[in-house]
Amino acid sequence: MGEVSGGADRRDGGHYRVSTEEQAAFRRDGWVHLRGVLAPDEVAALAVDYDRFLRREIAVAGKDFCDMSGDYTRTVEQFSIINVMLPRRYHPPWQGNVYERRAHSIAEQLCGPGMALDYDQLLAKRPRRDDAVFGWHQDLAYWPTDTPDLRTATCWMAIDAATVDNGCMRFVSGTHLAPLRPHRPLHGDRAKSHTLVTDLVKGDTVTLAPIAPGDITVHNEAVLHGSGGNKSAGWRRAYIVAFRSAATVAEERRRGFTHSHNDGKTVLDSVGFNAKQ
Ligand SMILES: O=C(O)CCC(=O)C(=O)O
């Protein structure tokens, strides 16, 4: 398969060059689309292990293999959005892979030096699942916001082409510049499901972000985003690596917050639900 959207001239080993226009778009909109961060053969190599996770050939503990659309009572076959938290923990050969290295270089071009990988995640929507909807949310509603350096850059890579039909990312540009919105658990209770949601308000303008395999969107954890159901006959597989400032990541770990869904406590237990709203 040839490269759909270019990017070869931007890649150099573990580095990907971000233009000044793209840096400005990230600051203004809270997200940006970067083309060809990985070449087709690099995506294909990662997809081999990705599918081993989906087939459960790579063991993932407890709630780190879960469903982001339903509650924890669903069986694996019922999962519409399969969520694998911290795949690099469960599959150490992924640590330091080419995607992680290029994403790190991108995070530092967008946010400045001193960014650290905070967590990684796989989000795979099964074919023909109207309910594979990722509700509107801001990532910062999920985790500590009381650290001094809140620089963030979350890289979301398409393994399959992400289309309007299969539930590509969608954003409300500029919302990272306003206060966080109040969030609530999708299923009423964090013990029933991890998922938090908020609402669109009058005046919000939604931008869809269809992207090619190997392309990424990078978003600020404060920007409002989500995605629609998968109406297509194929999977929609995404691979996410999220960066925060090294100081904030160190503070999260000091508090015992690892982004594992198996953590005894969630940040919301420790600081009070949306305590900062
Ligand atoms: O994969 C999706 O559809 C949503 C992902 C998301 O919300 C995120 O990476 O923060």
Map out the domains of the chain with their CATH numbers.
Answer: 23-265 (2.60.120.620)
Closest CA to 197 of 259, 135, 132: 135
Q: How far is the CA of 6 from the centre of ligand 1 (A)?
A: 24
Q: How far apart are CA 225 and CA 206, in angstroms?
A: 9
Within 13 Å, how many C-alpha atoms sit on residue 96's CB side? Answer: 2
CA atoms 147, 150, 153, 156: torsion sign: positive
Q: How far apart are CA 271 and CA 145, in angstroms?
A: 10
Ligand 1: residues within 6 Å at CB?
123, 134, 139, 154, 156, 169, 225, 227, 238, 240
Q: Are 16 and 22 in contact (CB under 8 A)?
A: no
Question: Would you give per-residue pLDDT tens digits along the chain (277 residues)?
Answer: 456 667 999 999 999 999 999 999 999 999 999 999 999 999 999 999 999 999 999 999 988 999 888 777 888 888 999 999 999 999 999 999 999 999 999 999 999 999 999 999 999 999 999 999 999 999 999 888 899 899 999 999 999 999 999 999 999 999 999 999 999 998 877 777 778 999 999 999 999 999 999 999 999 999 999 999 999 999 999 999 999 999 999 999 999 999 998 886 544 443 333 322 2
Determine which residue's CA is closest to atom 3 belonging to ligand 1: 227
> What tokens were used for 271?
């600081």
Q: Are 196 and 96 in contact (CB under 8 A)?
A: no
Determine which residue's CA is closest to atom 7 belonging to ligand 1: 226
Determine which residue's CA is closest to atom 6 belonging to ligand 1: 226
138-171 burial, b for 16+ CB within 10 Å, e for fewer?
Answer: bbbbbbbbebebebbbbbbbbbbbbbebbbbbbb
Pocket of ligand 1, candidates 122, 134, 168: which has the most ligand atoms within 8 Å of its Cβ, to mutate?
134
pLDDT at 268: 44
Q: How far apart are CA 121 and CA 242, in angstroms?
A: 9
Q: Which atom of ligand 1 lies at the shortest distance from residue 240's CA? A: 9
